[in-house]
Amino acid sequence: MAQFDLILLGPPGAGKGTQASRIVEDYSIPHISTGDMLRAALKNQTAMGLEAKRYMDAGELVPDSVVIGIVKDRLQESDTAAGFLLDGFPRTIPQAEALDDSLASIERGVSKALAILVDEDELVRRLTGRRICRDCQVPFHMVFSPPAEEGVCDKCGGELYQRDDDSESTVRNRLAVYSQQTEPLIAYYDRQGVLARIDGEQSPEQVYAHLKEAIGRP
Ligand code: AMP
């Protein structure tokens, strides 16, 4: 069977993280999130993590050369042999081109680019209420999916926090960056014939059902 190389596209707050967890569990492929990798680098105080922090806190993109390097290294690992789900990468045309080149060099290519689409005001509402577990990264929401005990993760008991980049002004900037730099990828993958557009303003279960339909494998 051909590899199963998936990309999850969409603005911040579209629910990519939540849907990604389900996809990778159902299809047994690794979840590769550049945002999670950058936050891990920051937590470990690596030079790259500290360099990335100033972009992340401002809602700007980390330079292409940095993230392309991280993803290329990650794709060398053996668990990606049968496929992967990229979440939060690519975010610019040069990143998409670099990904295409490195997959082409091993006779692979993007199987499907899944774009989850949500209106801007709804994204602001979602992002500013978001809280994440410091230990297991599971997302909660103060309005839509509050934890049983305030500030504590239901899954592992870890501490919940608001990401520095989920404040309203940073959120607005992240959305502007998305529309300028990342949205053009929708047309890019459409031209390649691998794009699926998913309405993200439905329940997480409905979004997931549409994603599975678009993926088209049992
Ligand atoms: P995320 O968790 O995907 O929303 O990513 C959080 C932040 O990490 C973004 O706002 C960017 O600053 C940075 N980041 C994550 N992925 C990328 C990427 N592919 N290119 C550039 N910056 C990224």
Gap between the Cα atoms of 181 and 91, Å rounded: 7
Gap between the Cα atoms of 19 and 27, Å rounded: 12
Residue 129, classified by CB atoms within 10 Å of its CB into exposed (0-12), middle (13-18) or buried (19+), is middle
In a domain, 104, yes or no: yes
Kindly state if the Cβ of 59 falls inside 6 Å of ligand 1. Answer: yes
At 1 the pLDDT is 45
Is 163 annotated in the active site? yes
Question: Does residue 95 contact residue 67 with C-beta atoms inside 8 Å?
Answer: yes
The domain of 146 spans 129-166
Gap between the Cα atoms of 201 and 134, Å rounded: 27
- Verify that 49 and 111 share a domain, yes or no: yes
Is 91 annotated in the active site? yes
Distance in Å, CA 22 to ligand 1 centroid: 21
Would you tell me how many other CB atoms lie within 10 Å of the CB of residue 45?
9
Question: Does residue 141 contact residue 35 with C-beta atoms inside 8 Å?
Answer: no
**Amino acid symbol at 24:** V
Is 130 annotated in the active site? yes
- Verify that 150 and 206 share a domain, yes or no: no
- Verify that 98 and 134 share a domain, yes or no: no
Kindly state if the Cβ of 10 falls inside 6 Å of ligand 1. Answer: no
Gap between the Cα atoms of 101 and 11, Å rounded: 24
Split at pLDDT 50, 70, 90, the class of 40 is very high
In a domain, 124, yes or no: no
The DSSP bridge pattern shows strands 160-161 and 139-141 to be unpaired
Condensed to tens digits (0 to 9), the pLDDT of residues 96-125 reads 999 999 999 999 999 999 999 999 999 998
Condensed to tens digits (0 to 9), the pLDDT of residues 79-100 reads 999 999 999 999 999 999 999 9
Is 74 annotated in the active site? no
- Verify that 40 and 81 share a domain, yes or no: yes
Kindly state if the Cβ of 35 falls inside 6 Å of ligand 1. Answer: yes
Kindly state if the Cβ of 174 falls inside 6 Å of ligand 1. Answer: yes
Which pTM value belongs to this model?
A: 0.87
